[in-house]
């Protein structure tokens, strides 16, 4: 491998302007994350204290090994939904280390709305369990929820069944699950602890039952206390639904650490590794490299040089298909094959990517996709040269590689370019996005032109002649809609990615993600590589 050269002029006005823009975006992201994680009314915190309950993040801190990192995912779920009343979808999810073992944590946040489930809450749990299943990560469920928000029950019910199915699939794969019951697990949610291998319950607060005392009385006339019907002592001494009863949350979390410590350690998948080395080029310079508009281009090699070990990179086909950068590098000691866009995808770029992915798949090397793409090239010349066929070959290979895939939306990620670069719908193990990134079927300007022409033509077919003001109104409506729905904050709120990250945090996020994906075996594909 060779060290990438950098041609960034840190004294240029353009660099300084980009840096100021991206530093502001990073500050906004930090503020937004802090608000979603910690901004709770005092009366909500007082209520937790009265119930002798810890805030969700204190629970997680007590569970994890002291000083170990926590890779939180989907941190801004529901951030732009439900009028802001369900920050983080009232759920914290992430990957951390417990007793030396990497585990996935799913923890209800009962500080607001009693930790009620919203539609995005169920989708977030489903996505977290998919991450656990794909990467063979043990799961610790930290349960404390008032149940489904019945005003939105149709959407919740439509997705909630996937939660229990995935729990069954985790069990079938021999992936351990532990439930720690801090509060109510009612109706369908009662199946979460009972589908786990082991369950810890806190006395006088943790309860598991299909129907609570009021519903039981209404349905059968039978009267019960909460503890009689589904409390910790009943379930650990009579029903056998739970395994351990404890008096405090601190005791429950200490016991949870002991239980995880009993689980067998998993050997990570065999992969080419070396001692980690910090990038040679300063990662903080990413702020001055990324443009202040997704319509502006930049050199992806400058990004690669600031996230890989030693800024060392072995480039594949460096002089062919130059709108696609491909090559091998190490990130925190883990070997990866990198595909990065330098703009639109031409046939040559697609063919280079296709061959490169086959090489990585043959050798069991995880793939990292760095998005900066507006799609595949269009036009008569390119159609005659087979751009659709070449794009289809890239899609076919990308869809069927067996190695882990991780994507980072660094800038634009639009149209079929998003699909080809392993966007969300192509099932990469993780998808992250920078706050400057934008993703949609096309850009707002192109969409506004296209849809305005379509709607104006429709009006004229009906004999109407729209005025310039009417045409301007149509254009404004379409542009506003696209600018809202292709924004990074809207997309992450709707779980189109696994989290917005500060560009400066990319290297660490990728290192932890690569460590997680290697918990699952990598099956190398036999055979040669088709040179396209």
DSSP 45-82: HHHHHHTT---HHHHHHHHSPTT--EEEESTTTTTTSG
Give yes or no: residues 88 and 233 share one domain.
Answer: yes
d(CA 160, CA 122): 6
Are 431 and 423 in contact by the 8 Å Cβ rule? The answer is yes
**Which residues are registered as beta bridge partners of 180?**
142, 200
Give yes or no: residues 465 and 379 share one domain.
Answer: no
Q: Is 52 left (phi over 0), alpha (psi -120 to 50) or beta?
A: left
pLDDT of residue 314 exceeding 80:
yes
Please indicate, yes or no, if residue 60 is contained in any of the structural domains.
yes
List all residues 6 or more positions away from 156 whose beta carbon is below 8 Å from its beta carbon: 117, 118, 119, 121, 122, 148, 149
Low-confidence winner among 263-267, 344-348, 350-354, 453-457 (lowest mean pLDDT): 453-457
Please indicate, yes or no, if residue 46 is contained in any of the structural domains.
no
d(CA 435, CA 24): 10
SS (HEC) of 92-113: EEEEEEECCEEEEEEEECCCCH
pLDDT in tens, 475-520: 888 888 888 888 999 999 999 999 999 999 999 999 999 999 999 9
Q: Residue 461 is part of which domain span?
A: 444-485
List all residues 6 or more positions away from 95 whose beta carbon is below 8 Å from its beta carbon: 70, 71, 73, 102, 103, 104, 105, 131, 137, 512, 516
User: What pLDDT, on a 0 to 100 scale, did the predictor assign at position 319?
Assistant: 96
Split into its structural domains, the chain has a count of 3
Please indicate, yes or no, if residue 362 is contained in any of the structural domains.
yes
User: What pLDDT, on a 0 to 100 scale, did the predictor assign at position 420?
Assistant: 97
Give yes or no: residues 363 and 305 share one domain.
Answer: yes
Are 421 and 372 in contact by the 8 Å Cβ rule? The answer is no
pLDDT in tens, 146-189: 888 878 888 888 889 999 999 999 999 999 999 999 999 988 78
SS3 479: helix
Give yes or no: residues 331 and 239 share one domain.
Answer: no
d(CA 213, CA 135): 40
Helix (H) or strand (E) holding 312: strand 312-315
Which of 262, 280, 297 is where one domain is finished? 262
CA end-to-end span of the chain, whole Å? 25
User: What pLDDT, on a 0 to 100 scale, did the predictor assign at position 150?
Assistant: 78
pTM of the model: 0.94
Give yes or no: residues 478 and 494 share one domain.
Answer: no
List all residues 6 or more positions away from 185 whose beta carbon is below 8 Å from its beta carbon: 143, 145, 192, 193, 206, 207, 208, 209
d(CA 367, CA 429): 10
pLDDT in tens, 6-27: 999 999 999 999 999 999 999 9
SS (HEC) of 173-221: CCCCEEEEECCEEEHHHHHHHHCCCEEEEECCCCEEECCCHHHHHHHHC
User: What pLDDT, on a 0 to 100 scale, did the predictor assign at position 275?
Assistant: 96
pLDDT of residue 212 exceeding 90:
no
For residue 420, the domain's CATH number is 3.90.226.10
User: What pLDDT, on a 0 to 100 scale, did the predictor assign at position 260?
Assistant: 98
The CA R_g of the chain, rounded to the nearest whole Å, is 25
List all residues 6 or more positions away from 75 whose beta carbon is below 8 Å from its beta carbon: 33, 36, 37, 88, 499, 500
pLDDT, mean of residues 122-134: 98
User: Residues 440, 437, 483, CA angle at the centre, nearest 5°?
Assistant: 50
Are 277 and 310 in contact by the 8 Å Cβ rule? The answer is yes
Give yes or no: residues 74 and 217 share one domain.
Answer: yes
Give yes or no: residues 181 and 205 share one domain.
Answer: yes
Give yes or no: residues 258 and 149 share one domain.
Answer: yes
State residue 506 phi and psi, 5-degree precision.
Answer: -60, -45
Are 4 and 307 in contact by the 8 Å Cβ rule? The answer is no
SS (HEC) of 419-433: HHCCCHHHCCCEEEE
Please indicate, yes or no, if residue 385 is contained in any of the structural domains.
yes
pLDDT in tens, 289-298: 999 999 999 9
Please indicate, yes or no, if residue 45 is contained in any of the structural domains.
no
**Which residues are registered as beta bridge partners of 315?**
327
d(CA 182, CA 142): 7
Please indicate, yes or no, if residue 4 is contained in any of the structural domains.
no
**Which residues are registered as beta bridge partners of 14?**
none
Which of 219, 237, 262 is where one domain is finished? 262
Which of 309, 454, 340, 413 has its CA nearest to residue 1?
309
Percentage of residues in the chain having pLDDT higher than 90: 80
Give yes or no: residues 297 and 431 share one domain.
Answer: yes
Which of 236, 262, 288 is where one domain is finished? 262
Q: Which of 145-154, 446-455, 459-468, 512-521 has the highest mean pLDDT?
A: 512-521
Q: Which two tokens stand for residue 85?
A: 């009343």
Please indicate, yes or no, if residue 210 is contained in any of the structural domains.
yes
Give yes or no: residues 90 and 101 share one domain.
Answer: yes
Give yes or no: residues 154 and 121 share one domain.
Answer: yes
Q: Write down the mean pLDDT value for the chain.
A: 94
pLDDT in tens, 185-197: 988 789 999 999 9
Please indicate, yes or no, if residue 1 is contained in any of the structural domains.
no
Helix (H) or strand (E) holding 493: helix 488-493
Give yes or no: residues 428 and 457 share one domain.
Answer: no
d(CA 511, CA 334): 7
User: What pLDDT, on a 0 to 100 scale, did the predictor assign at position 242?
Assistant: 97
């Amino acid at each position: 491998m060779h060290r990438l050269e950098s041609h960034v002029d840190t004294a240029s006005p353009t660099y300084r302007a980009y840096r100021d823009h991206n530093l502001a975006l990073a500050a906004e992201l930090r503020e937004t994350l802090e608000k979603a994680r910690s901004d709770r009314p005092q009366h909500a915190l007082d209520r937790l204290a009265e119930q002798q309950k810890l805030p969700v993040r204190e629970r997680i801190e007590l569970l994890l090994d002291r000083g170990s990192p926590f890779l939180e995912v989907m941190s801004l779920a529901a951030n732009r939904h439900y009028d802001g009343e369900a920050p983080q979808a009232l759920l914290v999810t992430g990957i951390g280390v417990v007793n030396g073992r990497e585990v996935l944590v799913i923890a209800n946040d009962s500080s607001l709305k009693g930790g009620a489930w919203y539609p995005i809450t169920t989708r977030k749990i489903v996505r977290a369990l998919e991450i656990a299943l794909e990467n063979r990560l043990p799961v610790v469920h930290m349960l404390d929820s008032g149940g489904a928000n019945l005003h939105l029950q149709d959407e919740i019910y439509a997705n909630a069944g996937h939660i229990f199915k995935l729990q069954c699939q985790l069990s079938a794969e021999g992936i351990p699950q532990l439930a720690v019951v801090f509060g109510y697990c009612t109706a369908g949610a009662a199946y979460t602890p009972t589908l786990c291998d082991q369950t810890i319950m806190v006395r006088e607060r943790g309860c598991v039952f299909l129907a609570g005392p009021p519903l039981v009385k209404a349905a059968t006339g039978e009267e019960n206390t909460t503890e009689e019907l589904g409390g910790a002592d009943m379930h650990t001494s009579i029903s056998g639904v739970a395994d351990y009863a404890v008096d405090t949350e601190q005791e429950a979390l200490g016991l949870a650490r002991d239980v995880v410590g009993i689980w067998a350690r998993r050997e990570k998948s065999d992969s080419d590794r070396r001692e980690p080395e910090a990038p040679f080029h300063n990662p903080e310079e990413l702020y001055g490299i990324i443009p202040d508009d997704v319509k502006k281009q930049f050199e992806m090699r400058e990004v690669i040089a600031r996230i890989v070990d030693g800024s060392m990179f072995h480039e594949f086909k460096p002089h062919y298909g130059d709108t696609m950068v491909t090559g091998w590098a190490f990130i925190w000691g883990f070997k990866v094959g990198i595909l990065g866009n330098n703009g639109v995808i031409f046939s040559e770029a697609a063919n280079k990517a296709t061959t490169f992915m086959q090489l990585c798949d043959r050798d069991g090397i995880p793939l990292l996709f760095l998005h900066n793409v507006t799609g595949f090239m269009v036009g008569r010349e390119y159609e005659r040269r087979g751009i659709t066929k070449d794009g289809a070959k890239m899609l076919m290979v990308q869809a069927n590689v067996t190695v882990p895939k991780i994507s980072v939306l660094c800038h634009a990620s639009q149209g079929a370019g998003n699909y080809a670069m392993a966007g969300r719908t192509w099932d990469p193990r993780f998808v992250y996005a920078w706050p400057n990134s934008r993703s949609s079927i096309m850009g707002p300007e192109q969409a506004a032109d296209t849809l305005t022409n379509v709607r104006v033509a429709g009006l004229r077919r009906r004999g109407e002649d729209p005025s310039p003001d009417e045409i301007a109104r149509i254009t404004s409506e379409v542009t506003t809609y696209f600018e809202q729905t292709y924004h990074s904050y809207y997309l992450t709120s709707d779980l189109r990615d696994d989290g917005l990250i500060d560009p400066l945090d990319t290297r660490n996020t990728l290192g932890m993600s690569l460590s997680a994906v290697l918990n699952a075996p990598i099956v190398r594909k036999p055979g040669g590589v088709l040179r396209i």
